[in-house]
Amino acid sequence: MSKLDLREAKRFLPTTREEMDALGWKQCDVILISGDAYIDSPFIGVATVGRMLEKLGYKVGIIGQPDIKSDKDIRRLGEPRLYWGVSGGSIDSMVANYTATKKFRNSDDYTPGGKNTKRPDRAVLVYTNLIRQNFKNTVPIVLGGIEASLRRVTHYDYWSNKLRKPILFDSKADILIYGMGEQAIRELTHALDQGKEWRDIRGVCYINKEPVEHYHQLPSHQECLDDKEKYIDLFDLFYDNNDPIAAKGLCQKVDTRYSIQNPPCDYLSEPEMDEVSALPFTRELHPYHRPEGKVKCLETIKFSIMTHQGCWGECNFCAIGVHQGRTIRTRSEQSIVKEANQFKEYKDFKGIISDLGGPTANMYGYECNKKLKLGTCDHQRCVDSRHLCSSMKPDHTRVIGMMKQVRNIEGIKKAFVASGIRYDLINEDKRKGYSYLKELVEHHISGQMKVAPEHTQQHVLDLMGKPGKQTLIDFKRLYDKLNKDMGKKQYLTYYLIAAHPGCEEKDMHELKRFTTEELKMNPEQAQVFTPTPGTYSAVMYYTEMDPVTRKKIFVEKDIHKKEKQKAIVQAKTNFKSGFAS
């Protein structure tokens, strides 16, 4: 690294021995390994963990995308004093590497140069083994990130088409921190630094010789292998115990030992959310990686603002509720405005904020009061395919005010909302839903607005946990009216899913008919369903049962027929004749 690069690298956490020497460090306290290149952004989990620990006074190094065929990368920072932190990266490595039809992906938005050549399959397992091979009897290895978090109990693995053990057993790591885990990371690091007991820390998983008697006893791994209904039982308990207020610990027998999952760690408060957001991120790719090329993800995340965490939408094919939680944690308007103002310090900022949102943009700023006091409900959802819970009162007042504050900042030309939006919540909010949509149409979208109905057949929507098609029709009517009244030509684009459990070819033909006759468009954003760990849809795919009724459902497992389902809805339609070509 040149002297110029080394000076610039001081703005980052170190990733080379030269940077450590320049800082006067003999040893890192913690070394973080990631399946992504080191991108110092609040949208990158490893960077956030590193900056949090840095603020607490720990010496943290980061190794992004280490070479797994040699020891040159894994050894370049030496051995940490406290622990190794291992993450597969911002995206599950198997999802990053393969399409839903198991074709290898050639590109990777988190790899310099964009070629998918740096992220190994099952990255968490590979990196843990790499550490073990090169550092005998080393300090603890701690797993984190979405890849590990969603595999913390027995789980269905689509790519091998079998149930796999909790990832701590396959990886031979020592500890797993699940979910967002901010509090658990702080407490675990402090405990290891002070030589104190860490096995009672919330948000932590570990392997034990004995069960924890007062925890929920999950069906054993062998029971799940023997009986698919036992696997549904396991997932129900797993799913219902993800809330810091209501959850109990979980215990599962795996062979002769036990997987122990402590109750979730507490969520961050609003001031704590603001504190994490204010950490000194450079929002750049580390100079070490730059000779290999740019990372595509920076085009969208560099000047985006994350306004909140969590989602209670509970789409059955989505793991956000299990990983981030089903309770919204909101940043203050002052924190968001401050971050937007800081963008103006960057030479390449053109006044455009790429996204102002979260997992679901219009969940900012309100929550169910019952849930905040008692935690999430067992076996009762905030929203499903049929209705919104009467305790949940959508209120877009605060998000409207926040959007106005951001777009009125001097130097901000446009603040787009590119995150997902639940149109059913707009329909449900009789006081401010219309005003929120009007703000979006007038100020916060450019040419098109993305929504995700996913399907239109009610029995498929029921299995997906998505609202019915009449909700979409009502929303589209309102959206079109607003655009007409404002003299704008802005369109809706629709995300659709093919081959979800319960969906047959005839259902895709009905979906195609609906998009042609009702929406007057040819869908382009259609994807084949991928069964990912931590989702009810993956449970359906494996068991071929509705997990609620335990009745058998149709599941398309032939790859060519899955592709045919997608082709049906994407077929070009001649709107004059009404026939698909």
Contact partners, residue 212, CB within 8 Å, separation at least 6: 249, 251, 258, 260
Residues paired with 353 in a beta bridge: 415
DSSP assignment of 155-193 equals: EEETTTTEEE--HHHHH--SEEE-SS-HHHHHHHHHHHH
Pair 120, 108: CB distance under 8 Å: no
- 192 neighbors 185 (Cβ within 8 angstroms): no
On whether 382 is known to bind a ligand per the annotation, the reply is: no
SS3 label, residue 291? helix
Among the listed residues 228, 88, 206, the one whose alpha carbon sits nearest the alpha carbon of residue 140: 206
Which one, of 468, 158, 554, 498, lies nearest residue 319 by Cα? 158
Contact 103, 91 (CB under 8 A): no
Q: 324, 333, 325, 322: which is closest to 270 by C-alpha?
A: 333
- Determine how many CB atoms are found less than 10 A away from the CB of residue 508: 26
Residue 377 marked ligand-binding: no
Question: Quick one: the chain helix, strand, coil %, rounded to 5?
Answer: 35, 15, 50
Rounded-to-integer distance, Cα 581 and Cα 578, Å: 10
64 in helix, strand or coil?
strand
Consult the annotation and say whether 311 binds a ligand: yes
How many residues are there in the chain? 581
Q: How far apart are CA 468 and CA 462, in angstroms?
A: 8
What residues form the annotated binding site? 311, 315, 318
Binding region for [4Fe-4S] cluster: 311, 315, 318
